[in-house]
Structure 1
Amino acid sequence: MSGCVNNGNNRENGVNPNMFSGSDTERIRAAVEAAKGTINKVVIPPVNTNGTNIWLLDSAILLPGNMTIILDNCTLQLSDKCRDNMFRSENVGVGVTDPEWVSNISIIGIGDVILKGADNPRATGDGNRTLVLSKEPGRVSYGSDAGKEGIKQKGDWRNIMILMAYVDGFKLKNVNIKQAHAWAVSFERTLNADISDITFDCPEMQIVNGKEVFIANRDGIDLRHGCKNFRINNISGTTGDDFIALSILGLSSENKEGGTVNSTMVTSRHWRGSEDDTENIVISNISCNALTRGVAIRANSTAGIRNVFIDGLTWGGRYNAILAGGKGYGDPSLPGRINNIHAMNITGNGLSLIHIEEAIANSCFMNGIYRGTGEHMVIYNIDKSAVKNVVFENFVHIKPK
């Protein structure tokens, strides 16, 4: 239990964790609790009164509704003991099967803010990854917990750095995210979000104890079931997987219930109809090196993703700037359930500029520059006749010499 100390901090500007005693995690949690229902603001400063310039977290900081976290030129890092998120909305977690909605959570950076994964993470990768100490064939990812008896040997949602679910009103601004343990930022059933001025430094390889190890599933931003009304602007950097992914997957999986550690989603993977569709997503000013895709849009079966607007995507990587309709490992999306995907001002290399894997509809792609060596700027994994009312205009292929 952290106690309060008097070091002269002014609460009018926000509750400062240096006002409390205990571990870094305990002091930040105490600051959140003190601010809750009063000033509703916590300011994490650059200098930690323990004598360091790093705030080292052993477990997640749980954020209630109506809470603003100001990160003032500070560095937060997950400790080597941590097998948890860095920030999570307080309404979800282990044992929570029917979450209540919360509103208005903000994480705002001032100046140079770094959010960093562990130097030697206990677990990485998504829920299908088995932990290993060195890379080997199959669906694996590094974790120092690998081979330890009685400890979970696969990844899960705790490997996500920032996880928000059942939140109406969220802001994330001006932070630099490094060495995430899987997806850097993930949303489930979140409405009215504004994400801007974020950089990622999350390549697929990381040096741990002098050895290069493989970290799987290092996406940048993921929108899962039921995300609506998002503005994603001015995002840049490097990721070892998709840079931005919109996904409604796992509808036929065995472990669909929420509140367990058997999935990369903390909430249920059941699809409950249109409320769990993803729609009204605006993505702009993206500059990235992402190993797989710049923007990936995937849905299974009857789930829908629609009204996605992309303006300004500069991408370098292995596959495609945009995956417009992908099925992941599940059943294909029904024709037209992914619709109204509109993208313009796209530049990239890879195998193609655009990849279409499912029967999308009523979509438009304009002003594309393909700089790769592939034969086609747009490739299809389905019969083209299954795609309805999709227009491509002003695409140019500039082959590298």
Structure 2
Amino acid sequence: MEPVFYVNTYEGKNDDDIISACLRDASYYEKKTIVFSGRDYEINNAVLVDSGMTIIIDGCTIRQRNRAFDNVFRGANIQLDPDNPKNPAINIEQLQNIKIMGRNNAVIEGCSINRCGYHPVLGEEQEMTGDYWGFLTYQLLFVRTEDLEISGLCLKKTRGWAITLDLCEHFWLHDIQIYSEVKNGDGIHLLCGCCHGVIQRIKGVTSDDLIAVQSGFRLDEFPSKNYLAPFYPSRCEYEKRSVRELDCHDIIIRDIFCGGEMHGIILLALNDTCIYNICIENIEDIERGKRYFATVFVYTGIYGTPGSFKDIVVRRVSSLADTAFVSNTSVTNLLLSDITANYENGRLYGTFRGR
């Protein structure tokens, strides 16, 4: 029988120590369940999730301590540079069979007071949130993970993208609420090589895209313009792979309730990669911000040379955006059906030319 470890039965000087003690005991087992329950938890360091681990957050909040600068959950396979953890990872092994499941109004919440730091390019002190400060701003980060399920969570006070997957296969993200206000505050962001996944029953109001699928994103030298640290830790893995291995494909995105700024769902293909076999269906805007350009956006050319798209289905979209469906590129085999524009003077379809 799979052992179950209850975090609230452990002792320590703070919650980071308590969680570490619990994970240490669990590490002796190939399959194990970790339960957060009984009270709220306040952490400064990421909870490192290993293969064969099921995490249950039952009726409580896991909150980042004020001025924390780390993920909330991160794959234990990501070996960061101890001298500068914002740098690309030194090594990333394969992970598999991971579940993070919320029950009874489980919440993951960022800091109430964010850490501040000096931005040398802009020449100012600022909160270390948003895309300028790299992948440690994400609430959940998994790379090279197969058979991953994340569900039942409400993600609030995000410090960057809420959930980020990179080089992940066979994933299921479902029944999640996401609310963000920071710069480039995406909800769910899939990076290179993500494939064979389902994203469903997601609700959120975000300060950027609620769901983004982005293949071929490479930005390896920092600072790059205003970006001080990498968006992804996995440069060491990208360098081993062919362009085709960085494609994103065979992904279903369905039953999405979105709103906020920028776009509901965006597909971005860059640097000769391809996004293909994508089904986007049952998408409903629940509100819009001041700049809500498109509910579904198919886009290439930013952050690098263009990529390509093929076999894309978009159907049953109810839009409050300026335009329901926008593309700046050609798509091989595109099906659009049952698209409605409900915003005053909103358009069904449009094109876009970047700066």
Q: TM-score range by the shorter chain?
A: 0.7 to 0.9
Please, which of 263, 277, 297 is the counterpart of residue 267 of structure 2?
297
| Whole-Å separation in 2 of the counterparts to 1:122 and 1:249 | 31
Aligned 8 A contact 2:324 2:346 in 1: no
| Whole-Å separation in 1 of the counterparts to 2:217 and 2:67 | 30
Which residue does the alignment assign to 1:391? none
TM-score (norm 1): 0.77
**Deviations 1:291-350 (CA, angstroms, capped at 9, x unpaired):** 1111100011311111111110012431001002333332222xxx21111011001122
Return 354-363 or 55-64, whichever deviates more.
354-363
1:97 Cα deviation after fit = 3.0
Which residue does the alignment assign to 1:236? 203
Please, which of 196, 214, 231 is the counterpart of residue 174 of structure 2?
196
| 1:56 matched to 2:42 | yes
Instruction: Please tell me the residue identity of whatever aligns with 2:21.
Output: A
Instruction: Please tell me the residue identity of whatever aligns with 2:242.
Output: R
Structure 1: gaps of 5 or more residues: 1-10, 48-53, 134-140, 145-152, 205-214, 383-401
- Secondary structure of the residue that 2:184 maps to in structure 1? coil
| Whole-Å separation in 2 of the counterparts to 1:229 and 1:341 | 14
1:373 Cα deviation after fit = 3.7
| Whole-Å separation in 2 of the counterparts to 1:228 and 1:14 | 32
CA gap 1:21/1:121 in 2 versus in 1, 3 angstroms: same
| Whole-Å separation in 1 of the counterparts to 2:120 and 2:309 | 25
Instruction: Please tell me the residue identity of whatever aligns with 1:40.
Output: K
| Whole-Å separation in 2 of the counterparts to 1:332 and 1:275 | 16
Pairs within 5 Å for 1:95-110: 95=81, 96-110=89-103
**Deviations 1:261-286 (CA, angstroms, capped at 9, x unpaired):** 82011111556322211111111110
Pairs within 5 Å for 1:221-260: 221-251=188-218, 253-254=220-221
| Whole-Å separation in 2 of the counterparts to 1:71 and 1:370 | 38
**Deviations 1:226-269 (CA, angstroms, capped at 9, x unpaired):** 0011111111021110000001244365359xxxx820111115
| 1:310 matched to 2:280 | yes
**Deviations 1:47-71 (CA, angstroms, capped at 9, x unpaired):** 2xxxxxx211111111111111111
Aligned 8 A contact 1:43 1:69 in 2: yes
Identity, % of aligned pairs? 20
- Secondary structure of the residue that 1:226 maps to in structure 2? coil
Pairs within 5 Å for 1:60-209: 60-95=46-81, 96-122=89-115, 142-143=127-128, 154-202=132-180, 204=181
Aligned 8 A contact 2:151 2:173 in 1: yes
Which residue does the alignment assign to 2:231? 264
**Deviations 1:1-24 (CA, angstroms, capped at 9, x unpaired):** xxxxxxxxxx95434343232310
| Whole-Å separation in 2 of the counterparts to 1:178 and 1:83 | 16
Which residue does the alignment assign to 1:273? 243
Structure 2: gaps of 5 or more residues: 82-88
Aligned 8 A contact 1:177 1:200 in 2: yes
| Whole-Å separation in 2 of the counterparts to 1:381 and 1:12 | 53
1:123 Cα deviation after fit = 5.7
Which residue does the alignment assign to 2:252? 282
- Secondary structure of the residue that 1:321 maps to in structure 2? strand
| Whole-Å separation in 2 of the counterparts to 1:115 and 1:251 | 29
Instruction: Please tell me the residue identity of whatever aligns with 1:70.
Output: I
Pairs within 5 Å for 1:384-395: none
Which residue does the alignment assign to 2:20? 29
Higher RCO (C-alpha under 8 Å, 6+ residues apart): 2
CA gap 1:109/1:281 in 2 versus in 1, 3 angstroms: same
| Whole-Å separation in 1 of the counterparts to 2:38 and 2:146 | 29
Pairs within 5 Å for 1:374-393: 374=345, 376-381=347-352
